[in-house]
Every structure is written in structure tokens, then in C-alpha cells.
Structure 1
Amino acid sequence: MLAVEELNAEGGLNGQTIKLVTYDDQGSPEEAVKIANKMVEVDKVDAVIGPLLSTCQMAQGALLNDAKIPTIGIGLSPSFMENGWDYIVRSSLNSDYVMKILAQNMVDLDVHSLAIFSGQDDSSKKAAGSMKAEAEAVGITVTTTETYVDGDTDFSGQAAKLINTKPDAIYAASYANVQPIIAKQLRQFGFEGLCFNKELFQADSLRVAGSAANGWIFAYPYISYKTVDECDIPNMKEFIVKYEAKYGALPYHEGAMRGYDAVKVLAEGIKNAGSTDPEAIMAGIKSISGLEGLGGTFDYTGGDGEGLHSCNSYVIADEKYTVLDKWVGDGGFEAFKAGK
């Protein structure tokens, strides 16, 4: 909503005020399909942003594509971009790219063996499979893969099995709601090594996990900061200051940042198109290059429908986010190893 308000304050797009229609799919693929039908048949939207979850994007993608509705996906799973849909692109980071980055992080941090813990949703399963492939490709031995069912809160059995394989590190393909539970239980069962996560370890999850989150590493375009002062990225800091001024709090989830960037990408595509003709909008998006967003520099000229292709890696140290390279350079990794 913030990005739309900013655009309308600047005169809208091509002289037209943007009308925002919002829905909550409640994380349900069935609800996502119902909403997509309504957006097409009743609202007659010119474009769609979202949904947040890749499973919901997969459910409604064909419908939106067949209706020729330009759609900016913000989910992370590689799956929905593997369908060859002409009217759907992504503005978040494909999790497959993240796995390559994490695998290199592991090599740099002397990880030789890895245990994997994964949810059974599409995004987590894809991420776990990709992480296993990328780790093995760089010579890391995967000792075991354990899974959990959405809604589980007791991971003691899986934690024991993971730790008993004596891995140098553990990788978790999980969502924010279970991040702190997994972190706490792994530490409670005595695992003192590095842990890697498929996506951002959220600020609210960090508050719950506390010191158990120290030593967790992730590669991601966005950070959900606990305070404004923690942010040292100029355009991100500008965004969270504006967000706090409007909503009275910092974003508790980086979905706000994903959505903000998606609006900016769509707006740039419509400006390039000079109209709301669907084919023109898609051509306008695919011509975007060098567009600076919160998550990085967007470039769609590669023809793969992906706007972002890289990001920073972060580690949680002293219950704060730190750029991984800086942590290593400042002696943080050596101190972590010494404290194990």
C-alpha cells in the first residue's frame, strides 16, 4: 500500500490513479484460486502482485496466465517459474539461487558434512532438494535428511537423529513460524555448530529464539530489522523509516519489502509500456535493467522471468544480523568456533 500511495502522490502511472484491491488468501491454495477468479471476473484487474506463498501462486498461476493478467510473483520456490507462463515473472529471489550461495558459504566456513531438516510443503521440499544437490556438488557430504509436518512443535526425535550423524552444520528448510522452535531444540539437544536457513530468519522469530539463533546463517535480499539503527543500507533505511511513520511499527515480516519491490517493478513495466495492454506491460517488464530496489538491482533482460539473481549472506551474532563477510573478517567465526 505504501508504494501505491507514493506512486499516486507522484501522479499515478501514465496519468492514471492506481486503484488497489487487496485480498487475504490465508495461505490456502483453494482460497487463492477463488480470489484469482474474482480478480479476473469481478474486479477486472489490469495486473496482480503476489501471493506471498509459492503454493498459492502455483494454484492460481494458470488461471491468471490464461486470462493474460500480468503477474509479479513474490514467492521463493522455483516451481511456479518452471511452468513457462508468459504473463508471470518474479521479483523475489528464486530459492535455487540462494542454495548456490549457501553452498559456497559452507565451503568458505570449512563445512564438510551437512544434515538437512525440511518441512513437507512445496517450497521447503524444493529448497531441501536443491540444497542437497548444491552441497554435494561442492564436495559436502549430506549425512541425513529428516522432515516434519506443518503444525508440529516437538522436533526432539528429528533433532536427535540429525545430531547423531555428527554433521559440521545443519540446514533447515522451514518457515518463520517454526524457526525459533527448531533453533531452540537443536541447541537444547547439544548442537553447537553452524545452522543454515532457506530464507530470512525473521525478526520476530529472532526475538523468540534469543541466543539459540546465534550462529544461524541465511542468504536473502531483505532483513526484518528490530530497530531502525540496525539498518545500514540507505534505501532500506529510508523505507523502514517511512513504514514506521505510517504504521507505527517496523515491518515484522519481510513480505512488506517483497511487496514494495513488486509494486516498483510493475510500475516500471507499465511506464515502459505506456499503457495497460497486457502484452505491452510484459514487454515493458522484460526490458527492465538497472532498477534499484530494496532487495537489489532488478534486471529482467535475461529472459528467465527472474529479476534478482544474487543477494548478501547474513549471520546472527549476539542476537543481531551481521553481514557474513564482515563477521568472518572481524574474527566472529574464529570466536564462534572457540566458544563451541
Structure 2
Amino acid sequence: MTSPLLTATATAVARRRTWWHTAAVLAVLLCAGYLGRRHWPLLETGAGQLAGADHGWLLAGAAAAVGTWGCSTLAQQGAVAERLPGGRLLAAQFAASAANHVLPAGLGAGAVNLRFLMRCGLSAGRSASALAVKAAAGALSRAALIAVLAAACPGVLRIPHVPGPAVAAVLAAAVVPAVALRGPLRSRCGRAVCSVLADIRAVHSRPCRAAALWGGSLAFAMAHCLVLIAVARAVELPLAPARVALLYLAASSAAALLPTPGGLGSLDAALAFALTTAGAPGAGAASAVLGYRLLTVWLPLVPGLLVLGALIRRRAV
């Protein structure tokens, strides 16, 4: 039985972490609001340019945005050996994408998918392992896509020089906690790693599951690139599609380091900066970012939350 002292300590730690997380989110949102107010004429011009954009390309971008939910469904099915109910799985991914824009740093999507997998009969540990497998496949697929596009578009990405002491500090920060782990904590981490590795072996022992995991993860990143490419074409942004895709992947990877809901503020600033640095006019970059956000966040947000409510009422999540 857990002692009251341990429970109180865990509650205090969780509350402190929540406060720090909330403070970080508010700080980023305040900075985004300040930048938006400072550059409001540019944003207003970009919104006007988006209103007169090519509707055919915008429809293509909307179709690519819808495709992201199917790609996420495919990847999540590929992360578990058991067969999941297809319709409910697709609805859960749609709801998870909406929840991801309400809670910070992917917590919304993770919580929805965790509850969905547990409702499908998986244990909490196996559900968490499935999410870890999907996240790892997504990160590796994104890195591979960045490498291919960087080779195809040389000179677009410039890797900054990192001093040796900074590298040593990062390595020490990663190694010291691992060495300091003792007793039950080390054993628990070891069991978690073993569970994830067992799930990876189980998934890759079935070619159809492995293909779904890696194909869905790669297609998910490519679909988001296609949304931005279509919007860029709609507003006549003078950038090649491969360059736009590379800039999106780099900007979204950088924005993931800031814990804002759905990258709100952080992704917008990073993406606009990347597009303007690559040679796009400021108004066109703002218009492309607004269009991307419109298709991937604002239009599906309310329907996604309604689907989430329906799934909760039916005890599907």
C-alpha cells in the first residue's frame, strides 16, 4: 500500500511541474501575442492575400489535411500487434488532433490515444509502449525525410556550430541521471525499456504491421508538408515545393522544443522566419502560415472536440 507521505510528495511534485509547464506556455503565448501585435499590418496583409488565394490549391491543402488523420490511424494500428477497430481508431485520431491543440506539448493526443488503447483491451503499460513506438517511428521518419530533402536542397539548412563545452554539458546531463538511478527506479525504467523493445519485436515480426507503422509515420509528415506546399502555391509563394517541405520540417522540429498547445506561437514564428529567410516576402509567408493553420487547426478544431465528446460519452476513450 502506498504511504500517505509518498502520495503527498508525488502530488506536490506533479503540482509544481504543472505550474512550471503553465508558466512556460503563458510566456511563449505572451511573446507570440507581442510579436503579433508588433507585426499586425503584415499579418493583416497576409490575411487579405489568403482571402484572394487560388481556391483549387486550398482545396488540395484541405484534402492533405484530412489525409493526416488517416496516416495517423495507419501508424497507430502499426504500433500494436492486435487489430484495432478501424472506425473508432480513425475517430480517435481526429479527436486527438483537436485535443493536441488544447493541451500543451502533445499531451492531448497522448491522453486520448492512451485511453483509446486501454478501452480496446490493452494494459496501461502496453498502451504507453505503443505510443512510444509510434512516437519513435514518427521522429525517425521525420529525420530521414529531412536528410533526403536537405541533400536535394543543399544550402537551405545551416547547422550551427556548437562549442565542445556545450556538447559535454549536454552529455553529462544525460549520463549523470542514468548513473544515479538506483534500486526500484532503475528496475522500473529497465522494465519499461524491455516492454517497449518487446512491443517493437512483436510489431516487426508481422510485415503488415511494420509497413503500417513506418508507412503511416512517413506519410503523416509528408501530408503536413503537402498542406503547406498547397497553401504556398495558392498564395503564389516563390519557393520550390521541396524547399517548402524542408523548411516546414525544420521549423516544426524546432518548435517542438517549446511546450505550447499544438505549437501555437512557436511554430508560427519559426515557420514564418524560415520562409522569409529562404526568400519569401513577409506578407506571403504570413499568408502561408495563416492558411496552414486554418486548414490544420482552426477549421477541424470544433468538429474534433465534438467527436472527442461523443467518444467519451460512448466510453470509447
- TM-score calculated relative to the size of structure 2: 0.28
The structure, 1 or 2, with the larger RCO (C-alpha pairs under 8 Å, 6+ apart) is: 2
**TM-score, length-scaled by structure 1:** 0.27
Tell me which protein shows more helix as a share of its residues: 2
- Per residue, is there more strand in 1 or in 2? 1
